Every structure is written in C-alpha cells, then in structure tokens.
C-alpha cells in the first residue's frame, strides 16, 4: 500500500478509524473483500497480531459507534454475528483508495 493511500485513508471520515490498531488495516481489507461471519473466527483468521477477544470486541464496538461497521444476525447460525462495512463507509473508503492510486 503506497503512502498516498495511507494519507487518503487518514483524511477519510471512516478510513481514519482503521489506522488506530496494528491489525485494523488488515481488518478493513478483509471487510472490503467480504462480510465476516463469526467475530472470533474473524479474529483468529487474521495474520496480524490481534488482541484477546474482549479487546477486539471493544475495537469493533468503537468502529460500530463511528458508523464504520455494522453487526447483523448470522445467516447460518443466529448466534454468530456478521460484521460488515456500512454502505457509507464502503463507498467512502473505496473512493479514497481509488483516488490515491
């Protein structure tokens, strides 16, 4: 990822929140690729060093409060939550990344 993309994300009202943690860029790219079902499974599938589940859920709650992501009921199991970017966040982040290249 070129430095221009990082600078563009920092100026994005949604993208800037994905620059806070060491694993948050990877999380953003995973969610840009597809929705994630099962928050613990998502955390365990990441290559970056991730915190324990409670701290990870706190960060997800922060992203949710900033309008970046939304948690929905799971499709295969109601107990598993689906995490996805909000439509506004997806549009804004994709636009900033596209304009930076």
The pLDDT tens digits for 54-88 are 999 999 999 999 999 999 887 777 668 899 999 99
What pLDDT, in 10s, does the model give residues 4-53? 889 999 999 999 999 999 999 999 999 999 999 888 899 999 999 988 99
In angstroms, rounded to a whole number, what is the distance separating the alpha carbons of residues 3 and 19?
13
Compute CA distances 85 → 1, 2, 4, 72, 91, whole Å: 20, 22, 22, 11, 9
Stated pTM of the model: 0.89
pLDDT of residue 78: 67
Domains and CATH numbers, the chain: 3-100 (1.10.10.10)
pLDDT of residue 64: 97
pLDDT of residue 1: 60
As a whole number of Å, the end-to-end CA separation of the chain is 10
């Amino acid at each position: 990822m070129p430095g221009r993309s990082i600078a563009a994300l920092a100026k994005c009202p949604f993208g800037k929140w994905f620059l806070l943690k060491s694993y948050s860029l990877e999380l953003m790219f995973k969610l840009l690729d597809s929705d994630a079902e099962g928050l613990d499974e998502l955390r365990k599938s990441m290559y970056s060093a991730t915190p324990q589940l409670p701290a990870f859920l706190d960060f997800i709650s922060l992203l949710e409060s900033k309008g970046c992501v939304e948690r929905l009921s799971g499709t295969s199991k109601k107990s598993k939550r689906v995490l996805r970017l909000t439509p506004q966040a997806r549009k804004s982040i994709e636009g900033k990344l596209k304009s930076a290249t």
